[in-house]
């Protein structure tokens, strides 16, 4: 049989061949490509850049340019719903799921009030005041598994998020910070090392005043009595029993709020923090006291 | 030559390294063992010389100070080193050891005045004023909406009547057109009957006859109207008479 002979022959050939080793291995043909450009008579013709035009000259046109046509991105000339978008306040989102993660991993202390400074310090949230970012928008993602009992201060929150936090016996406040205060909150150490007195927080602009004075949004300028009334109303609307925080052992912690002029918890405007020697300097001059309390 | 007595102090790192490598615990150091430390000028100078030789970092004096947690320069080296901002930074970074007067950290009277002026321009309204303005604006917007809704409701109430009126008008127009058409047809038919044969409506005779008929028709209509008027007058007169007679009876 011919095929058997072939098999025998090839097997004997194989047996006579040396074992595979590093010395007799080589790459597949064509698997390695030299990065060098040919320069001989025909190797150096076009080098893959093609013949004529922008390809050959490698003058890559700007994005969206259609060689003289009216570009696609300019064909619809105006979109009025974007008017003034570069001036609007932005609130980069932080979801309840992320917040739950932060709390579960013990990256934030829930036995103290949580504010934007403590959330930035966890390293899971970042924002840029110079890009019109005005703080945290707490969003409802992960609302069903949110179980923490916290006293939190954010800059924007929707109704269902407020309900989710209050249902667990927590407290939420929405507060406005001007961009300069946000720089301080983002990196307090940098500010303290600059050796300046802590400034006052500025009041919100006229178009934000409605949000931050509304007890429905738990605004920091709202009447506390109305806020507690709204807490009850929201509990009835969403159908949960509002936990009684007055009987809570940590009631004093849940009552802690910043003054509308205050930036850091526990630090008042006008104080100088000496990080090196670990003490605080407080002004005594009447004029300074008056300025910082105004 | 002044000599002073100090308790012997071991560097903690050294002790740590001993503990780490020793298989048996090191001999406990005898407390309060007294050693003599020479701090004459000569000795201090020698120490300084040794320290200087130990510093093989090749860093500039400023950098060397900085990495050792001291302010880089004691004397100002640059115009910027005379500014309040720089001195505040020195205080913030190196604390009291920087030797900066901490009263620099607060704004001066002039700066406070400037800040207050800035704030009066940047924030011209108080919170209360802004709240009132926002409420006023909201109320006005709501008023506009309400007014429009009211307007619409009033108009919508009349829609059925307006629809009826329009339909009546249209129907009347159609009916009139129909009546005129029928009248014309009747006339043409009459004329045709008069001649006893079908005559082309464009014929002169036909036209003549038509005109005549129309005239007659108009006359008849006029008469009919007149009669109707007279009848009405009669009815009115009778009514008046009846009223007068009734009045006479009553009295």
| pLDDT per position as a tens digit, B7-64 | 444 444 444 444 444 344 444 445 566 777 777 889 999 999 999 899 999 999 999 9
| Strands of B8-151, DSSP E | 34-38
Asked if A157 and A214 count as a contact pair (C-beta separation under 8 A), the reply is no
Q: Could you give the number of structural domains in chain B?
A: 1
pLDDT at position B32: 61
pLDDT at position B15: 40
Nearest residue of B to residue A279, measured between CA atoms: B95
Query: pLDDT tens digits for A220-229?
Result: 999 999 999 9
pLDDT at position B229: 95
Q: Where are the domains of chain A?
A: 87-264
Euclidean distance between CA atoms A237 and A227, whole angstroms = 15
CB atoms within 10 A of CB A263: 24
Scanning A198-217 for CB atoms below 8 A from B yields 202-203, 206, 209-210, 213
Count Cβ–Cβ pairs < 8 Å, chain A vs chain B.
76
Q: Do B123 and A203 touch (CB under 8 A)?
A: yes
Q: Do A197 and B123 touch (CB under 8 A)?
A: no
Nearest residue of B to residue A289, measured between CA atoms: B106
Q: Do B96 and A275 touch (CB under 8 A)?
A: no
Q: Do B123 and A221 touch (CB under 8 A)?
A: no
Q: Do B93 and A193 touch (CB under 8 A)?
A: yes
Out of B105, B116, B131, name the one closest to residue A195 (CB): B105
Q: How far is A199 from chain B (nearest CA, A)?
A: 10
Q: Does A168 touch chain B (CB under 8 A)?
A: no
pLDDT digit string (tens) for chain A, length 294 residues: 578 999 999 999 989 988 889 988 989 988 888 888 888 888 778 887 888 888 888 888 888 888 889 998 888 877 788 888 889 999 999 999 999 999 999 999 999 999 999 999 999 999 999 999 999 999 999 999 999 999 999 999 999 999 999 999 999 999 999 999 999 999 999 999 999 999 999 999 999 999 999 999 999 999 999 999 999 999 999 999 999 999 989 999 999 999 999 999 999 999 999 999 999 999 999 999 999 998
pLDDT at position A250: 92
pLDDT at position B6: 43
Q: Do A275 and B92 touch (CB under 8 A)?
A: yes
Q: Does A196 touch chain B (CB under 8 A)?
A: yes
Residue B114 backbone phi and psi in degrees, to 5: -65, -40
Among B68, B106, B110, the strongest candidate for a mutation testing the A interface, having the largest count of A CBs within 10 A, is B106
Query: pLDDT tens digits for B95-104?
Result: 999 999 999 9
Pick the CATH number of A87-264 from 3.100.10.10, 3.40.50.300, 3.40.50.1440, 3.30.365.10: 3.100.10.10
Q: How far is A130 from chain B (nearest CA, A)?
A: 18
CB atoms within 10 A of CB B238: 10
pLDDT at position B33: 66
Q: Do B134 and A197 touch (CB under 8 A)?
A: no
Sign of the torsion formed by the C-alpha atoms of B200, B204, B205 and B210: positive
Out of B89, B131, B133, name the one closest to residue A195 (CB): B89
A239 three-class SS: coil
| Strands of chain B, DSSP E | 3-7, 34-38
> Is the residue at B202 inside a domain?
no
Query: pLDDT tens digits for B204-222?
Result: 887 888 888 889 889 999 9
pLDDT at position B1: 38
Q: What is the DSSP letter of B102?
A: G
Please spell the DSSP secondary structure of B5-18, one letter per residue: EEE----HHHHHHH
Q: Does A284 touch chain B (CB under 8 A)?
A: no
Q: How far is A249 from chain B (nearest CA, A)?
A: 35
pLDDT at position A41: 83
Rounded to an integer, the average pLDDT of B178-199 is 83
Euclidean distance between CA atoms B16 and B19, whole angstroms = 5
Q: Do A272 and B105 touch (CB under 8 A)?
A: yes
Burial class (CB in 10 A: 0-12, 13-18, 19+), B68: exposed
Among A195, A214, A274, A294, the strongest candidate for a mutation testing the B interface, having the largest count of B CBs within 10 A, is A195
Asked if A100 and A141 count as a contact pair (C-beta separation under 8 A), the reply is no
Query: pLDDT tens digits for B129-175?
Result: 999 999 999 999 999 999 999 999 999 999 999 999 999 999 999 99
Query: pLDDT tens digits for B226-243?
Result: 999 999 999 999 999 998
Asked if A193 and B93 count as a contact pair (C-beta separation under 8 A), the reply is yes
Domain, as residue range, for B8: 1-54
Which of chain B's residues have a Cβ under 8 Å away from the Cβ of A210? 131, 134, 138
Q: Which residues, at least 6 apart from B101, have a Cβ–Cβ distance to it below 8 Å?
A: none
Q: How far is CA A38 from the centre of its chain?
A: 49
Out of A192, A209, A283, name the one closest to residue B130 (CB): A209
Which of chain A's residues have a Cβ under 8 Å away from the Cβ of B92? 192-196, 274-275
Q: Do A270 and B106 touch (CB under 8 A)?
A: yes
Q: How far is B128 from chain A (nearest CA, A)?
A: 10
Q: How far is B13 from chain A (nearest CA, A)?
A: 24
> Is the residue at B93 inside a domain?
no
Query: pLDDT tens digits for A105-140?
Result: 999 999 999 999 999 999 999 999 999 999 999 999
* Higher per-residue pLDDT: B2 or B85: B85
Euclidean distance between CA atoms B89 and B99, whole angstroms = 12
Whether residue B251 has pLDDT greater than 80: no
> Is the residue at B14 inside a domain?
yes
pLDDT at position B17: 42
What 3 state SS string does A12-60 have? HHHHHCCCCCHHHCCCCCCCCCCCCCCCCCCCCCCCCCCCCHHHHHCCC
């Amino acid at each position: 049989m011919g095929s058997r002979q072939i098999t025998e022959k090839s097997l004997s050939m194989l047996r006579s061949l040396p074992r595979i080793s590093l010395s007799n291995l080589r790459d597949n043909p064509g698997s390695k490509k030299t990065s060098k450009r040919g320069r001989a008579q025909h190797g150096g013709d076009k080098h893959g850049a093609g013949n004529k035009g922008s390809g050959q000259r490698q003058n890559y046109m700007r994005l969206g340019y259609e060689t003289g046509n009216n570009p696609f991105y300019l064909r619809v000339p105006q979109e009025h719903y974007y008017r003034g978008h570069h001036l609007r306040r932005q609130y980069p989102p932080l979801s309840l799921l992320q917040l739950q993660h932060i709390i579960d991993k013990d990256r934030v202390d829930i036995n103290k009030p949580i504010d934007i400074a403590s959330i930035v310090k966890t390293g899971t949230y970042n924002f840029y005041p110079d890009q019109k970012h005005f703080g945290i928008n707490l969003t409802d993602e992960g609302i069903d598994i949110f179980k923490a009992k916290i006293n939190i201060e954010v800059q924007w929150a929707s109704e269902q998020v407020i309900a989710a936090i209050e249902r667990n016996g927590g407290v939420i406040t929405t507060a406005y910070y001007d961009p300069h205060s946000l720089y301080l909150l983002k990196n307090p150490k940098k500010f303290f090392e600059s050796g300046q007195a802590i400034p006052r927080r500025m009041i919100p602009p006229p178009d934000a005043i409605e949000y931050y004075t509304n007890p429905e949004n738990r605004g920091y300028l709202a009447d506390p009595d109305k806020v507690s009334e709204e807490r009850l109303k929201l509990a009835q609307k969403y159908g949960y029993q509002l936990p009684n925080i007055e009987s809570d052992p940590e009631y004093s912690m849940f009552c802690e709020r910043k003054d509308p002029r205050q930036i850091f918890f526990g630090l008042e405007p006008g104080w100088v923090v000496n990080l090196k020697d670990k003490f605080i300097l407080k002004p005594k001059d009447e004029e300074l006291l008056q300025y910082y309390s105004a | 030559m002044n000599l002073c007595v100090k308790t012997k102090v071991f560097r903690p790192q050294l002790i740590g390294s001993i503990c780490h490598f020793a298989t048996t615990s090191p001999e406990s150091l005898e407390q309060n063992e007294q050693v003599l430390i020479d701090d004459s000028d000569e000795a201090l100078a020698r120490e300084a010389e040794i320290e200087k030789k130990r510093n093989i970092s090749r860093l500039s004096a400023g950098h060397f100070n900085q990495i050792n947690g001291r302010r880089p320069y004691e004397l100002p080296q640059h115009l910027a080193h005379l500014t309040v901002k720089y001195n505040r930074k020195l205080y913030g970074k190196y604390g009291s050891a920087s030797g900066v007067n901490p009263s620099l950290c607060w704004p001066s009277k002039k700066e406070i005045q400037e800040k207050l002026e800035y704030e009066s321009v940047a924030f011209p309204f108080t919170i209360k004023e802004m709240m009132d303005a926002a409420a006023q604006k909201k109320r006005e917007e709501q008023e506009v909406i309400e007014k429009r809704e009211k307007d619409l409701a009033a108009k919508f109430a009349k829609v059925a009547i307006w629809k009826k009126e329009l339909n009546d008008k249209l129907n009347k127009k159609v009916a009139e057109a129909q009546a005129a058409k029928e009248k014309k047809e009747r006339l043409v038919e009459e004329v045709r009957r008069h001649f006893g044969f079908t005559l082309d409506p464009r014929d002169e005779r036909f036209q003549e006859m038509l005109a005549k008929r129309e005239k007659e028709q108009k006359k008849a209509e006029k008469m009919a109207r007149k009669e109707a008027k007279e009848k009405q007058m009669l009815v009115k007169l009778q009514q008046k008479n009846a009223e007068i007679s009734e009045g006479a009876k009553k009295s």
